[in-house]
Amino acid sequence: MWSCIIMAQDKENDDFHELEGLVNYIDVLMDSFPNPITRKELAQKTGVSQPAITKVKNRLLKLCDHDVFVFSKSKLILRTDETPWKLLVFYFLQMKPTKMLLSNYGWQMIRRMNLHSKICERFKEYSSHFNEKDTDFIIKFVLYNIGNFQIVNQIRTGIGDPQQRMMWLSTQYLQAIQGILQKLDLPIEETEDLSSFLAIRDKLFYLAKELLCQQVQKLSILRGLSIKEKATYLRVYSTTIDFYLRKVFGFGTNFIKQAAEKRKLEFKKDYEKIGFFYTPAQK
């Protein structure tokens, strides 16, 4: 049994070692996806001769769709069954996961997972604020910052005891959020990107407020109060939540503003207002 395991590991290592010599070709095939390309085009885009492509043809074919190769006059296109996972592991080992995930090929594989629908099925509040385009935008942003996933652990540690959720809005929490934001990178290159980030900011604000207000309604302190007293308490809590959330999201707005100014993009005064790009429909 051990000999079988060792042989399997050796084969896997050989596979990944083989991929190292194909990186330039794989990069082109990922960016060209879903359009098949000829060996001549692959040679031109990688700056090598056609005989050089011929030498690695059999190795490339292990990653490519054989049917397309046969029926499209020897054009190459990456497979969509085993190849995505093999390349994902390979690029993670190379410490360059975003090269695969943010390529046309990687993004198409992610979209096939239909994440927006799956999120909405399990998180109804999310579906009331975010559409599929928003989800795609958020996923790309997360992938862009995939090297910063230690942030998740930092947030988890900062939250602490679930019974103390209302303490999330303390000054200490605001400082933690500011520190987290400073580690992120915003891919803002044009005005459309800026508007998208600000719209996501607004939607996240209203989603967070909705979720926190739901938690408040479950507080034990509200039990036994009259309808009038309960309404008063809820109004006070809602106002407090709104106040502190605006402080938290103010850090996000400043961060977006700084990123925009680095790219010489205009950041209008109105952009600082939460709700300028999105406000939820009245229920």
Domain residue limits, the chain: 2-94, 115-272
Q: What is the pLDDT of residues 74-87, one digit of tens each?
A: 789 999 988 999 99
How high is the pLDDT of residue 177? 53
| Close Cβ partners of 216 (under 8 Å, ≥ 6 residues apart) | 166, 222, 234, 237, 238, 241
Q: Nearest CA to 78 among 19, 35, 112?
A: 35
Q: Cα dihedral sign for 35, 40, 45, 50? A: positive
Tokens of 263: 């790219």
Topology of domain 2-94 in CATH is Arc Repressor Mutant, subunit A (1.10.10)
The span from the first CA to the last CA of the chain, in angstroms, equals: 62
Which residues of the chain fall below pLDDT 50? 1-13, 149-156, 158-171, 173
How high is the pLDDT of residue 11? 44
Tokens of 275: 């709700």
Tokens of 184: 């992120």
How high is the pLDDT of residue 72? 54
How high is the pLDDT of residue 278? 96
Q: What is the pLDDT of residues 181-220, one digit of tens each?
A: 566 778 899 999 999 999 999 999 999 999 988 888 887 7
3-state secondary structure of 78: strand
Q: Map tokens 């979209």 to a residue.
A: 111
Q: Are 258 and 188 in contact (CB under 8 A)?
A: no
